[in-house]
Amino acid sequence: MTASVTEPLTPVPVGPVPGDPGPVRANRLRHALLHGRGRVGVVLVGLVLLLGVLGPLLAPYGPTEQIQGANLVGPGAGHWLGTDELNRDILSRTLYGIRVDLVVVFAAVPVGAALGVLLGLVTSWWPVTDVIAQRAFDLLLAFPALILGILITAFLGPGVFTVAVVIVAIELPVFGRLVRTSVRTVREMPFVEASQVVGATPWWVLRKHVLPNSLEPLTVQLAVSMSVAVFVEGAMSFLGLGVRPPHPSLGSLIKDGVRLLHEAPFFAAGPLTIVVALVLGLLLISQSLAEARRA
């Protein structure tokens, strides 16, 4: 400190003072992810992620490989999760199926989120574009997720790509809405006025002030949306709108399992456990993040 700096009469408190915002936010979010509920979520999601990434190495058989003499065998030493009616190893199919969900969760959701944020950010600055974009979002939001899925499949035909498109279409308005709220609050802030007075363009304000200040609530929504995506993939494949046979996905595996519930009750157990772990993990993460934000 230079000599010219005069200290205020009442010393500036060193530690946090009552009524002060808590310690730096980023640390708090990290803390939330590494403790309690958040940690359970991270471990669950991490495990599923690991299984999916290492799937081809771990799987004892190929995903569509038919094994002679192993028709609807129950779980045992040779086939940990048993085999299906077409003599395929369910463990191998599940491991490969996870990969479809990973694409959906970690590619389609971020793409939808990024597009939604971008659209919401740009359109909500000007009243005219704002009205147009928000009504379009209303339209998308008016469709229940599965109806939207069926509609899009009618145009694109079933497949992983269609599932991804459906998820982007579901997430786009959600994130567009969320960003709009942030734009509305941040643009009224004095620091935005201060930069506008010196000649900052709307673009500058959106990029430098609005976007950074609105990212935090988005992290929570991202985790929620990912769990929704797992659910949507499962539901679409269950209805036969998703991954086409013979390729496996968690949803289609569960569908087959339900069909053979009486002959082979063990069938759906593996894929179901994975789906539950993934959705539960993502929800726990989003819950702990939301809590850390509020605290």
Partner 1 sequence: MPDSPLSPPVLTIEHLAISFAQPRPAVEDVSVTLRQGEILALVGESGSGKSMTARAVLGLLPPGAKATGSIRYDGRELLGLSEAGLNEVRGARIAMVFQEPQTALNPVRTIGWQLREALRAHGLRSRKAATERAIELLRAVEIPEPEQRLGSYPHQLSGGQKQRVVLALALANEPEVLLADEPTTALDVTVQAEILRLLDRIRERTGTAIVLITHNMGVVAEIADRVVVLQAGNVVEEGETRALFARPREPYTRTLLASVLRLPAPGSAVPIAAPADEATPAVEFRNVHVRYGSSRRGRAFPALNDVSLRVAPGEVVGLVGESGSGKTTLGRLAAGLVPLAGGQVLLHGADVLAAPRSERRDLRRGLAFVHQDPEASLDPRLSVGASIREPLDIHRVGTPAERDARVAELLEAVQLPPSYAERRPRELSGGQRQRIALARALALDPTLLVADEPTSALDVSVQARVLELFRELQERLGFACLFISHDLAVVHKVADRVAVLRAGQLVETGPVATVFAQPAEDYTRRLLDAVPVPDPTRRRGRRVRELAS
Residues of this chain that bind partner 1 (CB under 8 A): 1-2, 4-6, 8-21, 24, 189-191, 193-200, 204, 208-209, 212-213
Q: Of 29 and 236, which CB lies nearer to partner 1 in the complex structure? A: 29
Q: Of 7 and 263, which CB lies nearer to partner 1 in the complex structure? A: 7
Q: Of 17 and 57, which CB lies nearer to partner 1 in the complex structure? A: 17
d(CA 33, CA 212): 21
How far does CA 251 lie from the centroid of its chain? 17
H helices of 104-210, where?
109-123, 127-142, 145-156, 160-186, 190-197, 202-205
CB of 19 to partner 1, least distance (A): 8
CB of 179 to partner 1, least distance (A): 16
Q: How far is CA 145 from CA 38, 159, 178, in A?
A: 27, 16, 18
CB of 23 to partner 1, least distance (A): 10
Q: Of 214 and 286, which CB lies nearer to partner 1 in the complex structure? A: 214
CB contact at 8 A, 163 and 111: no
CB of 17 to partner 1, least distance (A): 6
Q: Of 66 and 195, which CB lies nearer to partner 1 in the complex structure? A: 195
The owner of tokens 């941040």 is 186
| Amino acid sitting at position 188 | E
The owner of tokens 């970690």 is 106
CB of 20 to partner 1, least distance (A): 8
